[in-house]
Structure 1
Amino acid sequence: MRVLTRAELNRSLLARNLLLERATLDPVSATEHLVGLQAQEPQEPYVGLFSRVADFDPAAASTLLESRELVRTLMMRRTIHLLSAADCLGLRALHQPMLEQRMRSVLRARLVGVDEEELRAAGTPLFEGDPRQLADAGRALADRWPNAAARDLGDALSSLVPLVQVPPRGLWRQAGPARNTTIATWLGRDAPTTTDTGEIDAEALVIRYLRAYGPAASADVRAWSGLARLPAAIKNLAPDLVTYRDERGRTLLDVPDGILPDPDTPAPSRFLPAFDNAVLGYDDRSRIIDDEHKGLSVAGARYLLVDGRVRGTWTTRTDDETTVLVISPLSGLTRAEAGDDVESEGHLLLGMLTDGVGEHRIEWAA
């Protein structure tokens, strides 16, 4: 069995995740290719798309939330993702058991005496009218379950009821509360409750993951999706997949036509947003980040890729009317080693973040 080096896996990830070369895709198509972008920080997906899509216009992408072609909803790993409307509808049934199980693991001890089906039935109508925040829905039900905190009732409803967060939440350069309505109300049709209705099943999801993130181990697919019931799907797919091993001895799965670029292919510098799935989408993240730094994602660090690997973090601040991009090197990265490519890409990012208005500069932290 062919062994793929870490460098080969890195270039494959970059190519398939649209980070080796920006793609000429519209934001909906790019989002579908990536099977969503993690989006609990509302503005972060714009950076993720900017780093992957040629001639990306964040304002135009923002209008897709208003036209309901893109939506914000709980999905993989029970985290908010930016998804196409089609994927929101197609993926919900597959992820529903996981969403409920993860909700129980967090809230079971705090919702003693609360029947899930009764809560679902009582909570669903609350979101079918005007969009509302989860805690507001919880407060509306407080008299019925007085021993449960409103925030916990609302948190449970976020998994029990298929919801989307509505604008202005998530619009470009706008802020807004996390107000929710049902998928059916927002998109005009119910999300299927089972995967036997022609919607996206586990096998289709595995194939899509491999096309955007592979080659990968079954543990990587599980870490990315949060789904535990994948062995049967992978077994069914096995005759149509190719297999490799990584340098740690794990079996890697891949689609037969999966891209495997030359490991010496030059990789441009890229700025990734917080919680980007290029980093979070694996159980073993060593193809893109050193083990000593992988915990930074918990704090919502934004990553700088140099030669395809995480070599720094970044943030922005405003000094008077100047927007400053602050780069903090990791793994011994020096400004000289980073080269001009980092600053060129950084100025492009600043132009996007500021809509091309005002002064900006780059600063390297000590």
Structure 2
Amino acid sequence: MNKNKTTRKPGSGMEKESAKVLDSRALNRATLARQMLLKREKLPVLDVVEKLIGLQAQSQNAPYFALWSRMEDFQQDQLSELIRDRKVVRMALMRATLHLVSSPDAFQLRPWLQSVMERSLKGGYGRQLKDVDLGQLAANGRKLVEDKPMTFSELGGHLLEHWPDLPSKAATAAIRNLVPLVQIPPRGIWGEGGQAAHTTLETWLHQSLCPKPDAETLIRRYLAAFGPATVKDIQVWSGLTGLNQTMEKLRPELITFRDVHGAELFDLPDAPRPDGSTPAEPRFLGEFDNILLSHADRSRILDDRYRSSVFTINGIIRSTILIDGYVAGTWKLIQERKKTVLSIDPFITLSQKETDALTMEGARLLHFAAPEDSQEVIIQSG
């Protein structure tokens, strides 16, 4: 029996709470609390990665900034060591995008999301692959990367020997989406570069994929990390469709609310839901931060007026600042010889108190990212 399972009873406090409407600030503070953005936590790094169900990793250093903004005294080598020790892996998962997750989670998440991977492949390369035996292509690619880890450039070259008319990008995309590939070190290690080399998750960790992932447990964990949330939110986060039936199975143990638009929100009964007036200190979020990509309605964290300034037309999600819990600008590091400048571009007019707090947090960020350089925080005028 699941120790977190709670059954709703007529006349209970849960039933009364289910009638509540949660406005944007209530949803904001609930999400920040679960994302460890109201207060940094002191936990083992691996526990944090699992608590958040992974970290977005399209950008090499994104997971490091994500952990720094959420943890007390986080240092880069704490995560780098986990990658080298194979306790966490980088691979395509939610929404068919790169994530860094714990190794046990990878074995659950990858098979659960297989339909997402296949749909992504069809959407991007369906026409080019329509006459290809995908099973044979996947088997060939799997053997190649299991015999020797390869970059996509190397893999594409080998595949062209058997499929000379197939574009290399389509061939390697097929292997990426049909075979559970992981990027092996030094990819993902702070301060190290180079093209990503791939092998299969099973070969890297000497274990088979979970034959029947526990979807209900994974959804509970999503709610613990991102809730309260609608069914559509869960589907946007995962990339999956058709989750209504699973949610109905979970309904008896969950509590429900409504947002200001009337949409039904699901949540775990004992999850934190701080008051909307709870203070939220300034935070710096790295590129592609999970909190910006895990809900259908992002108004709990990002005003739609600023969306185009954060989500670029070429698919980059810029690094952002949070003021009073909401996205209020972007930031970037500019390195010039032995000097690193933190340039902050606010969307709003900052009070002196907000400016001072943001500057102090920025100085801590610079010490984390470039401790040996001279440093400067510059806040651009609006």
Match of 2:242 in 1: 229
What SS class does the counterpart of residue 299 from structure 1 fall into?
Answer: coil
- For 1:17 and 1:268, locate their aligned partners in 2 and report how far apart those are by CA, in whole Å: 14
Equivalent residues of 1:136, 1:154 under 8 A apart: no
- Equivalent position to 1:311, from 328, 331, 356: 328
Tell me the alpha carbon deviations over residues 307-330 of structure 1, each in whole angstroms, 9 at most, x when there is no partner. Answer: 100001000102331110000011
Which amino acid is 1:313 matched to? T
- For 1:299 and 1:333, locate their aligned partners in 2 and report how far apart those are by CA, in whole Å: 25
Equivalent residues of 1:224, 1:280 under 8 A apart: yes
What SS class does the counterpart of residue 156 from structure 1 fall into?
Answer: helix
Match of 2:68 in 1: 50
Match of 1:173 in 2: 191
- For 1:114 and 1:365, locate their aligned partners in 2 and report how far apart those are by CA, in whole Å: 53
Aligned length: 359
Identity, % of aligned pairs?
Answer: 38
Match of 1:10 in 2: 28
Higher mean alpha-carbon deviation, 47-56 vs 317-326, is at 317-326
- Following superposition, the deviation at residue 269 of structure 1 comes to 0.8
Is the aligned partner of 1:293 residue 2:306?
A: yes
Tell me the alpha carbon deviations over residues 142-199 of structure 1, each in whole angstroms, 9 at most, x when there is no partner. Answer: 132222111210011001111100011110111121110111111111223x31xxxx
- Following superposition, the deviation at residue 88 of structure 1 comes to 0.8
How do 1:316-327 residues align onto structure 2 when only pairs under 5 Å count? 316-327=333-344
Match of 2:363 in 1: 347
Is the aligned partner of 1:117 residue 2:135?
A: yes
Equivalent residues of 2:160, 2:166 under 8 A apart: yes
Is the aligned partner of 1:132 residue 2:150?
A: yes
Higher mean alpha-carbon deviation, 91-100 vs 5-14, is at 91-100
- Following superposition, the deviation at residue 337 of structure 1 comes to 5.7
Structure 2 unaligned blocks of 5 or more: 1-18
What SS class does the counterpart of residue 326 from structure 1 fall into?
Answer: strand
Tell me the alpha carbon deviations over residues 24-68 of structure 1, each in whole angstroms, 9 at most, x when there is no partner. Answer: 111111010100111011111100000011110111211110000
- Equivalent position to 1:83, from 101, 107, 118: 101
Is the aligned partner of 1:204 residue 2:217?
A: yes
Match of 1:263 in 2: 276
Tell me the alpha carbon deviations over residues 236-274 of structure 1, each in whole angstroms, 9 at most, x when there is no partner. Answer: 001111110011111100011121101111101110011
How do 1:22-41 residues align onto structure 2 when only pairs under 5 Å count? 22-41=40-59
- Following superposition, the deviation at residue 137 of structure 1 comes to 1.3
RMSD: 1.2
Q: Structure 1 length normalisation: TM-score?
A: 0.95
Q: Structure 2 length normalisation: TM-score?
A: 0.91
What SS class does the counterpart of residue 289 from structure 1 fall into?
Answer: coil
Which amino acid is 2:322 matched to? L
Equivalent residues of 2:288, 2:316 under 8 A apart: no
Is the aligned partner of 1:242 residue 2:260?
A: no
Match of 2:6 in 1: none
What SS class does the counterpart of residue 97 from structure 1 fall into?
Answer: helix
Match of 1:364 in 2: 379
- For 2:360 and 2:287, locate their aligned partners in 1 and report how far apart those are by CA, in whole Å: 21
Equivalent residues of 2:69, 2:284 under 8 A apart: yes
- For 1:340 and 1:189, locate their aligned partners in 2 and report how far apart those are by CA, in whole Å: 50
- For 1:238 and 1:120, locate their aligned partners in 2 and report how far apart those are by CA, in whole Å: 38
Match of 2:7 in 1: none
Which amino acid is 2:364 matched to? L
Q: 1:243 to 1:186 in 2, by over 3 A?
A: same
- For 1:135 and 1:207, locate their aligned partners in 2 and report how far apart those are by CA, in whole Å: 39
Q: 1:136 to 1:229 in 2, by over 3 A?
A: farther
Equivalent residues of 2:228, 2:265 under 8 A apart: yes
- Following superposition, the deviation at residue 277 of structure 1 comes to 1.1
Equivalent residues of 1:20, 1:268 under 8 A apart: yes
- For 1:321 and 1:365, locate their aligned partners in 2 and report how far apart those are by CA, in whole Å: 22
Is the aligned partner of 1:155 residue 2:168?
A: no
What SS class does the counterpart of residue 298 from structure 2 fall into?
Answer: coil
- For 1:246 and 1:257, locate their aligned partners in 2 and report how far apart those are by CA, in whole Å: 19
- Following superposition, the deviation at residue 133 of structure 1 comes to 1.1
- For 1:350 and 1:112, locate their aligned partners in 2 and report how far apart those are by CA, in whole Å: 49
Which amino acid is 2:209 matched to? A
Match of 2:319 in 1: 302
Which amino acid is 2:302 matched to? I
- Following superposition, the deviation at residue 335 of structure 1 comes to 5.8
Equivalent residues of 1:326, 1:363 under 8 A apart: yes
What SS class does the counterpart of residue 89 from structure 1 fall into?
Answer: helix
What SS class does the counterpart of residue 249 from structure 1 fall into?
Answer: coil
Equivalent residues of 1:285, 1:294 under 8 A apart: no
What SS class does the counterpart of residue 312 from structure 1 fall into?
Answer: strand
Match of 1:329 in 2: 346
Equivalent residues of 2:333, 2:342 under 8 A apart: yes
